[in-house]
Amino acid sequence: MSMVDVELDIAGMTCASCATRIERKLNKLPGVEATVNYATEKARVRGEDVDSATLIAAVESAGYQAALPAPTVVEAAGEPGAPVDRDLVSLRQRLLISAALSVPVAVLSMIPALQFEFWQWLALTLTAPVAVWGAWPFHRAAAVNARHGAATMDTLISVGVIAAFGWSLYALFFGGAGMPGMTMTFTLIGTP
C-alpha cells in the first residue's frame, strides 16, 4: 500500500464551519487524513490508495462540490481570453443591484421630509428583490446546511433577513405602517 496525496478544489463553502464539516466528512473515510482550507477553497488529502472519486463523493454527500484541480492557466487575469470567475461576477452583480435598490429605501426611511403618501409601498417594492434575490446565496446555503443538520453564518444571515423582512411585511399589512401619511420620526427614549 502506498501513500497518496490528492488535492481537491472545493466549491460551495461560505464560511469556516463549512470547511470543518468537509474535513470531518473526509477524515471519516478509512485511512484518510484531510485538511480543508476555506480561504483557498482546497482540500489536501493523504491516505493509502485513496480514490479521488470516493473523496469527491464524500464531499458531495456533505452538500458541496469537489473536483480535481484543472490544469494551470498561464494567461494573466484581466487580459483578453483570461478565465472569468463566474461566481465572483454573479456576487458582484448581486451586490451592486442590491445596493442600488437599498440606498433609496435608507434615504426615504431616514429623512422624514422625503416621505410621501404611501412611500412604504415603494420601500417594499425596492426591498423585496434585495431580501429574496440579493440574499439568495445565503438562503440557499442555509437550506443546504439545514438538510445536513448544521448551522453556519449563512444560517444567521438568512434567518436575520427573513425575520426583518417578515416583520416589515407584518407591520406594513397589519400593523399600520402602510397607512397614508405615516411617517417615521426620530425618538429619544427617556425624553419627556
Per-residue pLDDT of 102-126, as tens digits, reads: 999 999 988 888 888 888 899 999 9
**Which residue type sits at 146?**
A
Report how far residue 120's alpha carbon sits from residue 125's, in angstroms, rounded to the nearest whole number. 9
- 139: three-class secondary structure by DSSP: helix
- Residue 9's pLDDT band, with cuts at 50, 70 and 90, is very high
Q: Please report the pLDDT score of residue 75 as a whole number.
A: 47
- 34 Cβ neighbours under 8 A, 6+ residues apart: 22, 23, 26, 27, 43, 44, 45, 46
- Residue 189's pLDDT band, with cuts at 50, 70 and 90, is confident
* Backbone dihedral region for residue 62 (phi beyond 0: left; psi -120 to 50: alpha; all else: beta): alpha
Q: Which residue has the higher pLDDT, 40 or 185?
A: 40
pLDDT at 96 over 60: yes
The sign of the dihedral angle between the CA atoms of 38, 43, 44, 46 is positive
Q: Which H or E run contains 47? A: strand 42-48
Average pLDDT of the segment spanning 138-145: 91
Mean pLDDT, rounded, of the chain: 86
For residue 35, the 8-state DSSP code is: E
Q: What share of the chain is helix, strand, coil (3-state, %, to 5)?
A: 50, 15, 35
Question: Which of 17-26, 52-61, 104-113, 159-168 is the most confident on average?
Answer: 159-168
Q: Please report the pLDDT score of residue 169 as a whole number.
A: 93
Q: Is 99 in contact with 127 (CB distance < 8 Å)?
A: no
Report how far residue 101's alpha carbon sits from residue 186's, in angstroms, rounded to the nearest whole number. 23
Report how far residue 143's alpha carbon sits from residue 155's, in angstroms, rounded to the nearest whole number. 8
